[in-house]
Structure 1
């Protein structure tokens, strides 16, 4: 392939722009907020599981308390009924039986209310544990929100620079002959670098000094010959700095 030295030199500008675009892409992916958000999100996932567990434990205690309150209500109703029956009874035997039953019911009421107090204390503990977890979740979500704002601010700066750099690339690429541009993009896609400046016998793409026999072949090539760097497989661009 043939291309004028000036057209080949344009590839160095194109390579510089492409390198910058890769750097900007890496910078966008490497923002510190990404890792911080991922860490906090993982913590939130763990806390959500804890919240679910604690919510279930609270629900169990609530059900237990509801059952106890129902039992207390039943016992209170029976006590009231027996007290009314005892007051209305004219039989000493029946009154004695009712008093015995009332004593048992009052004992049962006392025991249930003691258990009820214990369960209510347990419910307070469950409420406190659940509230603590929910507060932690709220705090973590707030931290993530702040990080997302900071991330998005930095990403906008990077995105704006990417747009500007991409527009610059289009301007440069439009000046490069189509066949030379196609070869450049092919080599870049395959090897990671499309063009390499030969400076002082060293390939700029990888910093490798070319062998003498390789330099002899390069010196023998016409200025408009498009050469492939033997060490990087990028298009080798020769200038006055090449040391040929």
Structure 2
């Protein structure tokens, strides 16, 4: 294959732009902001789950407290009715009086026990409320931090995309001026060789594989016509000769 030396030089420009586009793509995928957003979102999910659990616990204890208070009220009302019967003098039988007094005493003990239950449930509910409030504050703070991190990421991504769009446009223009057959060979080699299809020969060294050409290889390159496409014997990439190739 043959191509004018100027076309071969332009191929190095295309290669440089391809490498820059690759670097930008790598940068886009490995932004520190990506890890930060992922970490914050994971923590936010965890704290939201804990908040839901705390709110559920608070709701459960609220119902438990309501039930316990209703039980206390029922016992209190029954005790009040018994006390009213006792005070009215309507019960005259000594045995009935004794039974009524015994029931009033039992109800007083039952009411006291139930009131202790209410206090215990109230304490648990208060603890659940405090826990839910603290978790709500954490969730709100994490939401703020996550939003800020996502905004920073969006700003960096916009800058990368803008630079990438400029580089892609420049590549399109330069590649359009390179012969099609040379571009096809370059693209094929680039796909096979880790993104580098053309390399500069600098001071007798291929900048693609970083190996120095031996004397036989150098003589072959020296003997090749200026418009002949030469390849590195080691990495098989297109080897572009310049004034500082050391030939």
Q: TM-score, normalised by structure 2?
A: 0.90
Deviates more, 1:88-97 or 1:162-171: 88-97
Match of 1:238 in 2: 241
Deviates more, 1:157-166 or 1:51-60: 51-60
Post-superposition offset of 1:88: 4.7
Number of equivalenced pairs: 244
- Residues 107-138 of structure 1 show CA distances to partners (whole Å, capped at 9, x for unaligned) of 21122112211210111111111221221121
Report the Cα distance in structure 2 between the residues aligned to 1:141 and 1:115, rounded to whole angstroms.
Answer: 38
Post-superposition offset of 1:140: 1.1
Report the Cα distance in structure 2 between the residues aligned to 1:60 and 1:230, rounded to whole angstroms.
Answer: 77
Match of 1:27 in 2: 27
Match of 2:81 in 1: 81
Aligned pair partner of 2:188 in 174, 186, 189: 186
Report the Cα distance in structure 1 between the residues aligned to 2:40 and 2:75, rounded to whole angstroms.
Answer: 51
Report the Cα distance in structure 2 between the residues aligned to 1:204 and 1:13, rounded to whole angstroms.
Answer: 14
Residues 1-244 of structure 1: pairs in structure 2 closer than 5 A: 1-88=1-88, 90-93=90-93, 94-191=96-193, 192-244=195-247
Aligned-pair RMSD on alpha carbons? Answer: 1.9
Report the Cα distance in structure 1 between the residues aligned to 2:69 and 2:25, rounded to whole angstroms.
Answer: 64
Report the Cα distance in structure 1 between the residues aligned to 2:4 and 2:109, rounded to whole angstroms.
Answer: 108
Post-superposition offset of 1:89: 5.2
Q: TM-score, normalised by structure 1?
A: 0.92
Post-superposition offset of 1:87: 4.4
Q: SS of the counterpart of 1:205?
A: coil
Deviates more, 1:222-231 or 1:51-60: 51-60
- Structure 2 unmatched ranges of 5 or more: none
